[in-house]
Amino acid sequence: MNTRSPLRIAILGSGKGSNAQAILDAISEGRLNARVVCVLSDVADAFILERARRQGIPAEFISAAPFKTKLEGEGEQRYLDALNRYGAEVVALAGFMRIIKPGLLAAFPNRIINIHPALLPAFPGMESWKQALDYGARVAGCTVHFVDAGTDTGPILLQKVVPVLDSDTAATLHARIQEQEHVAFPEALQLLAEGLVRIEGRRVRLTQ
Ligand code: GRF
């Protein structure tokens, strides 16, 4: 029997929130011992907020202005205040389109994870599924990793591989990768919830 208390997860996202939905589904199906304490978005009309509200999860638009691509300064402080107010233990970046800066990293050391739609370290950055297709890779996939000061560079927690088919377009490959994201992100969070994760340098080890 699992006697640990549910992991308190804050989800940050800027878009449609399909990964947030997968996390919520895993919790309600008993595959993830966690509670989503809040969903925060830097985009006022992002569907991720609507999804959360429909399911009774506290959801807030929090401006990250004046910056366009990073979370720093007063915006970062507003996020920190909310994360503390909701008592978040882990921050899950689910399509949050901003670079995380040292203030947040220091407040949640090795407690911020991101999902990236490629097999890192290949194809960091934007539209990674398209990068993989254009490059001619025969496999693609997704990576759940800890967030550090770089872009898509932190220690890797979990990866899922999908084939690249001759018939693939960017859209079909992206859809196949997203299906695996929805498996990988809850699985990775469950490893954290079970307290199994140790980071040793770049390597993530799973131990009791
Ligand atoms: C995902 O493809 C994820 O890999 C990337 O952003 C996208 C978010 O999608 N970081 P959604 O909002 O969870 O549907």
CATH at residue 100: 3.40.50.170
pLDDT at residue number 2:
58
116 tagged catalytic: yes
pLDDT at residue number 4:
86
Going by alpha carbons, the residue nearest to atom 5 of ligand 1 is 95
CA distance 158 to 161: 10
In a domain, 207, yes or no: no
In a domain, 124, yes or no: yes
In a domain, 206, yes or no: no
Q: Is 41 in the pocket of ligand 1 (CB under 6 A)?
A: no
Catalytic residue, candidates 116, 145, 174, 182: 116
Distance of CA 107 to the CA centre of its chain: 17
CA distance 196 to 94: 22
Residues of the chain where predicted confidence (pLDDT) is lower than 70? 1-2
Q: Is 128 in the pocket of ligand 1 (CB under 6 A)?
A: no
**Residue 42 alpha carbon to ligand 1 centre in Å:** 14
Going by alpha carbons, the residue nearest to atom 12 of ligand 1 is 17
In a domain, 205, yes or no: no
CA distance 42 to 96: 8
Q: Which of ligand 1's atoms lies nearest the C-alpha of 178?
A: 2
pLDDT at residue number 208:
73
In a domain, 96, yes or no: yes
What residue numbers bound the domain in which 88 lies?
7-196
Of residues 22, 96, 21, 28, the one with CA closest to residue 51:
21
In a domain, 41, yes or no: yes
pLDDT at residue number 55:
96
Q: How many domains does the chain have?
A: 1
CA distance 169 to 143: 21
pTM attached to this predicted model: 0.96
DSSP class per residue in 79-124:
HHHHHHHTT-SEEEESS--SEE-HHHHHHSTT-EEEEESS-TTSS-
**Residue 17 alpha carbon to ligand 1 centre in Å:** 7
